[in-house]
Structure 1
Amino acid sequence: MTVKRSGLGKGLGKGLDSLIPDNKGSRKNSAAQKENKEETVSSGERMVKINKVEPNREQPRKKFEEDSLLELADSIKQFGVLQPLLVQQKDGYFEIIAGERRWRAAKLAGIKEVPVIVREYTDKEVVEIALIENIQRENLNPIEEAMAYKRLMKEFHMKQDEIAERVAKSRTAVTNSIRLLKLDDRVQQMVIEDMISTGHARTLLGLEDGEEQYAIANKVFDEKLSVRELEKLIKELKNPKEKKEKQSRENDFIYRDLEERMKGIMGTKVCVNRKANGRGKIEIEYYSDEELERLFEMIMSIKEGVR
């Protein structure tokens, strides 16, 4: 697997790539300068011991796919870390701003040193860069992404359109992402664990009650309902009267058919009047004493035939 360099759109002006120079050529020179492990290899880049690098505790991404890390580790064993980690100097160590996935994979690969670029950033810039890297590379799960957006809004007072511009997404996409945080916590966990899709999650927002959200989410998972089927189910839950009226219209057809069939047998008008709970009455019209007698004899003959 070849590690691709990521184009990060409009994030932080020209994107994260504008902060990380192309070092493919300079990496070849690092072997010749190996005696001085932390000597600068190219402008702003240096090799440091991997045990001197630590992840950022405020990293928006909390979950890393093991299979994906193992694939990257295999690539690093063959080609090394092709893109330096972006770090800032802390007291006795370097804190990762961008590149934690590469750092984790390098540790799995048994790499002793990693290339880094040391920069100084404000807390806001650190969060922005970490957010941009993860979102642009689609490394965050939907709930982590929503929480990252929410943090930018709450802690750094950024507006949704500003966030959208920074991460090169539409404002609608950012808004829909943040709305996922209105889901019950248990439903959010189901999204994280891929038990239900983001489409299912957005549809469940049509239900306000958390318990109902969770119950229907489990129904989606157990019965493998599609998003369209879920939309129909929620519509019926929110509009029981409409469902009842639809069922009533369907039943009307059945009763009209029964009326026509009885009319054909008895030779006179028959009306089925329905009431609640499956009850009702049947009205049979007659227009003379002779016809009444005929209908009576017909009913009696049917009764005798049943015996």
Structure 2
Amino acid sequence: MAKAKPQRTTSIDSTIEQLKTEQEIVLKNSTEILLVDIEKIHELKLKNDIFMHNRISYSKSKLLELAENIEKLSKENAGILGTGILNAVMLRNNNGTLERIHGDNRIKALKLNGAKVVPAIILENVSDELARFMRSSENLNREDLNAYDETLSILEHIQLACNFDDIESVKSFINKIKNFQAGKTTLNENEKILHKQVSEVFERVGRFDIITFVDRLSVLKLHSLIKQALVDEIISYTQAKVIKSKLTDETEIKKIIDVLKNKKLSVNELKNYIENMKTSKEPINTTLDIYENVNKLSKTLSKKKYLSLQNEDKIYIDKKLKEIEDIYSDIKKKLK
């Protein structure tokens, strides 16, 4: 386990308050809002070429909704400088490079609308530590965080407040505390001080303690499909845990997520459903399966095969194709 740097002797409250003060000073001295070329904005890059985590809470549907709202306001010449944006994004000038502190989803929504510029506040003299604090604080104050983003934001907040080298060090230490409280290991004097500091951060956050948070760490190991379903609000965190514990095959994960798009299942119902799916010899048709089957069937009908049919068969096919044409017309309307 990488060790936390021991040089910080101030309390957690002093550390956080100092960063809050720095933030207030920087924001007070940087109130001008400019229209910035979106293509000139870069990811927030920290020491050792590390890119900071972006919040992924917005589902695809929410992002589309945000884009529509922005476009509507911009057509009315509303929002900041007529862009449809109500809150400017925050950037820092890092030796001539503009790096985004927060505003990722607003920028993505603008790109969906084909916009080229975004209203932004450009901050000068912002350290890595302050930039991280500003982003993690914004994330923790949001009510729409999913379990994945909330977990990462808390880990980043602990790393910042307690001066850990990296997030992996935080995770390792939290697991060590769990083993310590279970009587499986001991802590040296520096680790006891660190234990107290980490506990203080959890008290400030007010959502977990160290032990209850250990269980949350499993969300960081979710399969990408499960993580995306969690972000898109197709499944809950408890459902994500069930799927993670029972399925490893990507095809099966796709099937169960597709089932949950159209069917509400409790945790126990989901467990039973997965067990039945794994033991059943009959394939379970999901919406995705139906789509793929129809797609395959449509490719089997060629002009050459059609012309070789008897007239009565052609009449039958014509009738069915007309029905299919009407159905596709309805589907096309839904896909707009």
The TM-score, its normalising length taken from structure 1, stands at 0.48
**Structure label with greater radius of gyration:** 1
Which has more helix, going by share of residues?
A: 2
Higher relative contact order (CA 8 A, sep 6+): 2
The TM-score, its normalising length taken from structure 2, stands at 0.45
